[in-house]
Chains A and B, each alone.
Chain A
Amino acid sequence: MLYLRKLQSDSRYFQIIGQSTFLLAGIFIMDWHVHLPLFLWSIFGSVAFQMLAIYFGLADGNSLRSALITGLGLSLLLRVNHPLMMVSAAALAIGQKFVFKYKGYHFWNPANFGIGVLVLISDQAWISPAQWDHHLWVVGLIAVMGFFVLKTANRWDTALFFGITLALLCWVRFSWFLGWDWKVWWHQFNMGSFWLYTLFMITDPMTTPQSKWIRRLWAVVLGLVTFYLQHFKFIPTAAVWSLLMMTPLVPFINHLFPAERWSWIPKISKK
């Protein structure tokens, strides 16, 4: 019981457990063991850069958990030709948190920034959207893990509004307009990478608007942009780019619609 309460004290614990589970599943079931050195570099890199930031007084000690999440996120979604690229991604991801700041908020989700920018500027990195296959158990596991994270972080609504928007739009396009079998629609959604992205990256409380209904609206718009990029611009990794484009708006949205500021560790005194 004590352990459970401890886990609930910070949703990042669930996130670490969740992402580690997927990494393990990838390593043991999907033959990712060939990438293990890369995983090591991304996690080690992220943690090391964060430690450096802590050393220089830019962040507090428990932010190491965030760095670990960033490292895991990079391992799960980014594929590179050389370990140096993974370290660069980690440097970009962690470094930008201290460079692009507005009123104490960083603009981008670190892993999202690291992945997106590296894929854009280098010709050695890419994203494999289909690497998770269409196994129902993967989606189920992601959903369960995601639920715990989002419940603790109280950000389930971002995932829900984003997911529903995208699901509806896809249904309208595939099943209703184009007349494909419902299986085509399901095939779109039964994709591990997509759910991993939805539940673990776009719901980052630090980079989503604080005000409840504005946040939900923001998730809907994010869904619209993702849909447009994926099905009209034929970009298979649309979610990465839509999030990269949309998150810089968040600090300004927070400025316009102020709400209680998110903190990973609840400010309730222990009794």
Chain B
Amino acid sequence: MKTRSLFFLCLMFLAFDQASAFCGFYVAKADATLFNNKSEVILVRDGEYTVITMGSDFKGDVKDFAMVVPVPVVLARQDISIVDRGMFDRLDAYSSPRLAEYYDYNPCQRPMIEEKDFAYPTSDNMDESANMRVKALTKKEYGVTIEAQYTVGEYDILLLSATESNGLKNWLTDNGYKIPAKAERVLAPYIKSNMKFFVVKVNLEEMKKAGFDQLRPIQVRFTHPKFMLPLRLGMANSEGSQDMIVYAFSRTGRVECTNYRTVKMPTDKHIPLTVKQDFGPFYKRLFEHQWQKEGKNVVFLEYAWNVTPSWGGMKCDPCVGPPPINQDFTMAGVNANWSNIFFTRMHVRYDEAHFPADLQFQVTPNTEHYQARYVVNNPAPVYDGFGCPEGQEYLISLHNKRKLELDEYYALCGLSHRAAKDYLSEYDRYLSQIPEEWKEPTYENLPEEELKKGGLNPMDSIPQAVHQVMHDESKRDGVVYFLLLISMVVLVVWKSNQTKS
């Protein structure tokens, strides 16, 4: 009964405000564990004050772990801390792309809602993010100065300044840090920009004492006008592309990249029901396709929301995980007296060819909420069939809806759905008469090889695009506004000519 009233409540809500609220059930999420070779970073920025928390998914032998990060200033001991790994998981769970579902009811029967079926994506094995060995330090002259030296938690931390890249490279190599051959070229610009090097290795004894078997994230705090993430050293380390998830907090609004375009992931798309079983892999495919479509050099926005605990508005819609609480914010480095906290999640897949420069960011006052959300629709339960006229109408609308879902799937992933034909005609057998135009097949179940080639002819996507525009309210409004805009330009030019003559 409770679910029923919720269902009706949702219907009412939809009728009032379709744009701002959503009432499907949350069924799955595509969290960061799907992506191999990835790193996670939490950024907090307030004026020139910056907090960076670096999460490592290092899965190898901890004694091989090493990290070299360029930082703009020499950090004091109290500006470095170790935080709980769970914070990353909570932020990821809360902000990851989500799948929600709707339920149709059988117009020939009383409405009833089936039990929900939760499907979580399984996590893939992670590659090793770094493979560096650490040896004892030696005291040779390399033009390298140890500005500070701390042991924080299970880490031994050095802050180095260098005068010359070769010296730094040799120093690191001679001290057992395995630096890639190309590193020296990458180190030089940081040295000349007067940046310091934050060098980390694991103190095995401390780690044994603390009893942790996983490396915990390191947090650094400093005040500097530069708001950037150095990627170049990481790229010198790896041949292919790497994924990075950035969770950013600001007081005013979204954080965006200033030297690469920040692109929103397509959202609020209705996709085939079959995706429910494997939403994780679906999102992975979608990401891959969008990344290629955008030219491989953009930063994707996956989530943007006001998360101020005291703010009364809806925090997520639907929620994938519990919203972060005060404790999470404090741990991330957000000052307790911020009256407003805005959360941005960005996902960037970078490689050397497409990301020549480090990522630079700015805080904007953009408070527009955004989330990557996908919707599946459960067809009505069959019961005694769809014999009544409303039932027949429903089946036709279901067929048409499913066709749109398949189109959407193709547009999102660049692939045809594996079982497109079966999916489309699944309920056709309940129709007393199949419409003439359906007899010509619009979709085929594609064999594996076809799928790899990319499925349908890309030219098909043009009528699809037109179709989508006409069925998408926001886009339809866009067309109207656009026509108004054009007519105004024409009017002004014409008018100004008239005045002149």
Contacts and interface: CB of A to CB of B under 8 A. Distances in A.
Interface of A: 13, 16, 20, 27, 30-31, 33-34, 36-37, 39-40, 43-44, 47, 54, 60-65, 67-68, 79, 81, 123-126, 128-135, 174, 177-181, 183-184, 186-188, 191, 233-234, 236-237, 265
Nearest to A61: B499
A65 B494 CA distance: 10
Interface stretch (B86-94, B151-159, B186-194, B208-216): B186-194
Nearest to A75: B485
Given A37-B481, A187-B259, A128 B364 contact: yes
A236 B258 contact: yes
A61 B500 contact: yes
A132 B261 contact: yes
A77 B193 CA distance: 30
B297 interface: yes
Interface stretch (B130-138, B355-363, B412-420): B355-363
Contacts of B297: 133-134
Given A31-B264, A179-B189, A81 B488 contact: no
Given A79-B364, A178-B193, A34 B257 contact: no
B489 interface: yes
A184 B356 contact: yes
Contact of A39 (B258, B263, B295, B485): B485
B256 interface: yes
Contact of A68 (B226, B484, B489): B489
B485 A43 contact: yes
A131 B192 contact: no
B356 A131 contact: no
B400 to A, nearest CB: 25
Contacts of B498: 61
Contacts, number: 131
Contacts of B488: 40, 43-44, 47
Contact of A236 (B193, B362, B492): B362
B474 interface: yes
A240 to B, nearest CB: 13
Q: Interface centre among B185, B260, B481, B485, by most A CB within 10 Å?
A: B485
15 contacts: A33-B475, A33-B481, A44-B488, A61-B498, A61-B499, A67-B492, A79-B366, A81-B253, A81-B365, A134-B261, A177-B192, A179-B189, A183-B357, A233-B225, A236-B362
Contact of A128 (B256, B474, B493): B256
Contacts of B492: 47, 64-65, 67-68
B489 A16 contact: yes
Contacts of A54: 499
A62 B493 CA distance: 9
